[in-house]
Structure 1
Amino acid sequence: MVEQAVRPIVEAMLSHIPSGWTEAVMYARAGRHGSSVTGGYSPRRSGRHAGLPSPHEHLMALGEMLREEHGWEPASLEIRCRPTGEYRLVAFHDAITQVTGDGGFQVVLDPEYELPQPGLRQEPGTAAAAGDPELAVARFRRYLERRAEILGRPEQLPPPATEAAIQAAEQQLGHRIPADLRALYLLADGDRDHYLFPGNAWLSVASMAGEHLEWGAAQRPWYGWDLEWNAVVLDTVPADTVRRCGGHPGWLRFGSGEDGNFLAVDMAPARAGRPGQVIRTGRDYDEGPVYVTDSVTSLLGRCLELLEQGAYSVHGEHLYLEEPGAEHETQEIIGGNVPEEVPPTLQALHVNDVTGPVDLAPLTAAPRLRKLHLNRATTADITPVRELPVESLRVGLDGGDLSPLAGHAHLASLGLTTTAPVDLAPLRTAPQLRGLDLSGAERADVAVLAELPSLRYLALTLDQWSALLDKAGAPPALAAARLAGEEVTLDDALAWAARLGLDTDGALRLAGSLRE
């Protein structure tokens, strides 16, 4: 049965062959929610050539068969074929997946574990709420009056929410709605998509509770270890007002841009924040929320200001506020070398494609730097990192050593490439270190990694993994790992995952030929 399902996929691979090829490799995932394909033909050539097909229907049929026969949902597949029509399938469940881009395979050893958000460790705010229910109501009524004057008619809003409906929503939210926003709900239960707030429709209390039930309990979407192991959540401006999380159950979404982004009142502020402050969160804010203002009361004041400034447009029967572009503090710089004058507000720096050693000394002027990635660039001295709150460091080390990282209180992830042997011993004293990619540091004694009790993610080459597992064993707390390298196969990954403790005995292997 499986053999019959594989043959049309191989036929599709053969139908797209470029000239001079010797082998085609398809890595795929297939399950109820769809299929995906990576891989290619070898030897690789520069310029344009035929890419792998994506035989979705045949992959879905194969995925369904593997689900029925083995319970895999979804299934991870590797199909290799040659010009002779000979092919080989290796399949397993998605505890092992092929890593696109960087190459190699990833294994998830603890599917329940996700890296915690740094905001959960932040000191909570203790200040009182800034909102004023009476002032909020007065501003709201004046705001509706001014909108009616501009439109030439009043806008029809829903009737007020009942006290019982508000209390029911609060029970679902797990928080009392801030007093100023609560007072508005006693005037109207949302705005029926009139977009009263800048770029956002005001949700009814039932919709507010519904959004919370769907998203509120999640810290943030989890995109998989290959993307999450070195992810960083940046701080807000002003600093330390909102927790450094991609999402939080204390963020109550009351306004929707209908694009996956929201206005929310923050009921769990950080040290310098206030309960009921307004933030932006959602699909486009994985690297951190944006602080808007200290309360819904202040937000209404801003709405009135925008009307008085003429910062609005009218389309048909609707009036839309237009928030002028603000001059934002420079928080992230991508590309080029380290600037001569580093803005003190910098939190993320990506140095790309620089020849010669990169001087990191100017970064001492960035006391809030959280992410430092040197991509296809090297440095000889990482001493400036010692005093910075860098959490994600990706660096090419040209000579030099890792001693500046000894005892580093913030470092959570390190991606390291080297041009000379390097001593990894300083990493033993970095208390927050959770993720490591040493696949570009071939000349390093990896045995020390077994002494990192908090390490949750590790990426090494096949030779490095063999050295580590032969000498010392895997770090005890690993939740996920990567076998790096473009040439490794799913068979290699299965043997490696078995050494890490994953039961791979049920893997499916099948060989055949289209000529049979």
Structure 2
Amino acid sequence: MDLGEIGRTLAERLRDWAGDGWSEAVLQLSMGTSGSVDAWTDESDQDRGRALIDVLHGAYPRDRPPAAYEVRLRADGAYRFAASTDASALAPARFLFDPDFRCPGHPAPGMPRPAGLEPAATPTDPAVLREISALVEEFAERYTAITGHAPDWEPGRSEEDIAAAEARIQARLPEDLRALYRLVGRDSGETGLLGYFAHDSLDTVVEDYHYSLPGAYRGAAFDESPYSAGVVPEAVPPGRIKRVARDDWWVSFGGNHSDQWIAVDLDPAEGGRSGQVIEHGEEVARLIASSVTEMLTDVVTALRAGRFTRHEGDPRLEIQAAFHDAPDEIHVLLVRNVAKLDLTAEISTKDPEVIQSCHLSDGVDVDLATLEPLGQLREAGAHRMKTVVPNVAGLPLLESLTISAERTDLAALARHPTLWDLTLHDLTHPLDLAPLATLPNLTRLTIAGLDIPAIDQLTHLPALRVLTLDASQLTRLLASGHRLPHLAALTITGRILLPEAVEFLRQLRGTDVHLEEFTGSLNDPPERARA
């Protein structure tokens, strides 16, 4: 099916879906690299819009590159179909100029392999193998005595199997993890050998390592998109795990089948140890144990002391190993209805060593200097406020700030050393961006919908790489003769038509941009569609 046929098919589907009582209908779609499709029609009827996606899947050529598509259909049957592989996202329109760009704390694949991790043909250290063997054998004996049957484990793997897995990962695994695989290929019965975790097969280890990006990532902290990648909090305990959203040299080897996984960290922070075991998941990034050996030792020690629970008919043991008591990373503080609270008193009750993100909402006037007792704060937000005074000089680690208020004064942000992400919403007064030029690391800025009289001040922001504007702001910026050549990514909010988006992109690049357009009428035979 060529593009002309696709355009007519989409126009037919749009007419069938749109019903009666309309003069013009617009359908915009974005197709990603995997063939996934996002559709936008009418924000007031998203359920029907999502249902339309399934109908349209059959019209899409799966071998085409990522692209944006648009159908504009009049009630008399006339339609215009447009397609562009240069503007691959609409509603909002998003342009990615530098696909290699990453926000701070979100490293790209290809991180250098730490020294000493090269795969080697040497067998597992015999002393480590003896130590792990003794621990595994004692666990099996105690488990059998408690349950009346041997643990359900898959057979151990050979040195050749382990070496083959390491060759695919391109790193030698810690000696104690190698020893565990020599003895137990997989804890398929989730017996409690590693507490409430169970290790996976070597095949799964390799598969998970290469899934999406090499290595492992930290759940909600991981987002490679420059538009929404978040601040990465410090893991618990601090200084042991690198403050990154993902790492090529975190090798997941098991989990608890509840969105929590464990990995050996082969690239620790300065205070950590290669081979330490970390837990990662949707909300968790913490150190579990200094090694697999320590985990096994904790489990066997707990069994010796009788610190376990067994439920009738359940082959698993709930073992109270020491590493189960590792502190959770509870780092977010939400304070609602600020107008009705004594904010200073509320904050004084919190542990300043724990809170790394704080969001305030529904207040009148707030001075962010009130947050200074939270010395580890890396992310802050003030939402639905009257006035926000962003005095954040006393928050030296702050990286991300969101202000949703009627009034603010950016001068209070001047020269902040670590702030790289700033989002401003709802301001009702003209905004002077000049103070932002003093921020050495301001990488991402969102100002769509605001009155920015001197829009060309954007060109004075030395580190700006990711920007969100509305179409009016961008039109004024381009009319001033500026192109922001160092941008890595741009978002244009609101509804704009695909030809308009392509024209913006053409002006920003200063070169031709791909756009194909076809017109036709549903009242004519299919072959009448024309470019």
Smaller-chain TM-score range? 0.7 to 0.9
| Number of the residue aligned with 1:9 | 10
1:85 lines up with 2:86 in the alignment: no
| Number of the residue aligned with 1:420 | 429
SS state of the match for residue 172, structure 2? coil
Alignment of 1:172-191 (within 5 A): 172-191=168-187
Does the CA-based 8 Å contact 2:68-2:85 persist in structure 1? Answer: yes
- Alpha-carbon separation, structure 2, partners of 1:19 and 1:373: 44
Deviation of 1:216 (Å): 6.4
1:369 lines up with 2:353 in the alignment: no
Change over 3 Å in CA distance of 1:53–1:309 after alignment to 2: closer
Alignment of 1:327-342 (within 5 A): 328=328, 330-334=330-334, 336-337=336-337, 339=343, 340-342=345-347
| Code of the aligned partner of 1:15 | D
SS state of the match for residue 227, structure 1? coil
> Deviation per CA, 1:196-242, whole angstroms, max 9, x where unpaired?
334433134454344334466357565533322xx111111112221
| Code of the aligned partner of 1:341 | E
Does the CA-based 8 Å contact 2:419-2:441 persist in structure 1? Answer: yes
1:475 lines up with 2:484 in the alignment: yes
Q: Choose 134-143 or 148-157, whichever is displaced more.
A: 134-143
Deviation of 1:484 (Å): 1.8
Deviation of 1:266 (Å): 1.0
| Number of the residue aligned with 2:56 | 59
- Alpha-carbon separation, structure 2, partners of 1:341 and 1:97: 43
| Code of the aligned partner of 1:197 | L
CA RMSD across the alignment = 3.6
- Alpha-carbon separation, structure 1, partners of 2:241 and 2:252: 15
1:75 lines up with 2:70 in the alignment: no
| Number of the residue aligned with 2:105 | 117
2:451 equivalent among 442, 463, 474: 442
- Alpha-carbon separation, structure 2, partners of 1:161 and 1:405: 58
TM-score by length of 1: 0.82
Does the CA-based 8 Å contact 2:365-2:387 persist in structure 1? Answer: yes
Does the CA-based 8 Å contact 1:16-1:52 persist in structure 2? Answer: no
- Alpha-carbon separation, structure 2, partners of 1:421 and 1:88: 39
SS state of the match for residue 254, structure 2? strand
SS state of the match for residue 427, structure 1? helix
Does the CA-based 8 Å contact 1:280-1:292 persist in structure 2? Answer: yes
Deviation of 1:159 (Å): 3.8
Alignment of 1:28-427 (within 5 A): 28-30=29-31, 33-40=35-42, 51-52=48-49, 54-56=51-53, 59-64=56-61, 72-93=64-85, 95-99=87-91, 104-117=92-105, 136-195=132-191, 196-214=193-211, 217=214, 220=217, 222=223, 224-228=225-229, 231-257=230-256, 261-281=260-280, 284=282, 289-304=285-300, 307=303, 308-313=306-311, 315=313, 317-319=315-317, 328=328, 330-334=330-334, 336-337=336-337, 339=343, 340-342=345-347, 343=350, 344=352, 345-352=354-361, 354-384=362-392, 386-396=394-404, 398-417=406-425, 418-427=427-436
| Code of the aligned partner of 1:309 | R
Q: Choose 421-430 or 217-226, whichever is displaced more.
A: 217-226
For structure 2, the 5+ residue unaligned runs are 116-126, 525-531
Percent identity reads 27
SS state of the match for residue 80, structure 2? strand
Change over 3 Å in CA distance of 1:53–1:456 after alignment to 2: closer
SS state of the match for residue 25, structure 2? strand
Does the CA-based 8 Å contact 2:9-2:59 persist in structure 1? Answer: no
Does the CA-based 8 Å contact 2:432-2:452 persist in structure 1? Answer: no
Deviation of 1:326 (Å): 8.0
> Deviation per CA, 1:374-430, whole angstroms, max 9, x where unpaired?
343354310135533121111135444223322222111111233323332222232
| Code of the aligned partner of 2:159 | E
Change over 3 Å in CA distance of 1:425–1:499 after alignment to 2: same
SS state of the match for residue 341, structure 1? helix
TM-score by length of 2: 0.80
Deviation of 1:436 (Å): 0.9
SS state of the match for residue 112, structure 1? coil
Deviation of 1:357 (Å): 2.3
Change over 3 Å in CA distance of 1:245–1:405 after alignment to 2: same
1:454 lines up with 2:463 in the alignment: yes
SS state of the match for residue 411, structure 1? coil
> Deviation per CA, 1:162-202, whole angstroms, max 9, x where unpaired?
33443444444344322333333343333345353344331
Deviation of 1:271 (Å): 2.6
Deviation of 1:77 (Å): 1.4
Change over 3 Å in CA distance of 1:176–1:27 after alignment to 2: same
- Alpha-carbon separation, structure 1, partners of 2:311 and 2:279: 22
- Alpha-carbon separation, structure 2, partners of 1:219 and 1:192: 22
SS state of the match for residue 239, structure 2? coil
| Code of the aligned partner of 2:262 | L
Does the CA-based 8 Å contact 1:118-1:244 persist in structure 2? Answer: no
Deviation of 1:500 (Å): 1.3
- Alpha-carbon separation, structure 2, partners of 1:263 and 1:219: 10
For structure 1, the 5+ residue unaligned runs are none
- Alpha-carbon separation, structure 1, partners of 2:249 and 2:182: 22
SS state of the match for residue 25, structure 1? strand
SS state of the match for residue 96, structure 1? coil
| Code of the aligned partner of 1:275 | S
Q: Choose 132-141 or 396-405, whichever is displaced more.
A: 132-141
Deviation of 1:504 (Å): 5.1
SS state of the match for residue 288, structure 2? strand
SS state of the match for residue 272, structure 2? coil
- Alpha-carbon separation, structure 2, partners of 1:515 and 1:503: 37
- Alpha-carbon separation, structure 2, partners of 1:171 and 1:2: 45
Change over 3 Å in CA distance of 1:159–1:19 after alignment to 2: closer
- Alpha-carbon separation, structure 1, partners of 2:76 and 2:245: 51
SS state of the match for residue 234, structure 2? coil
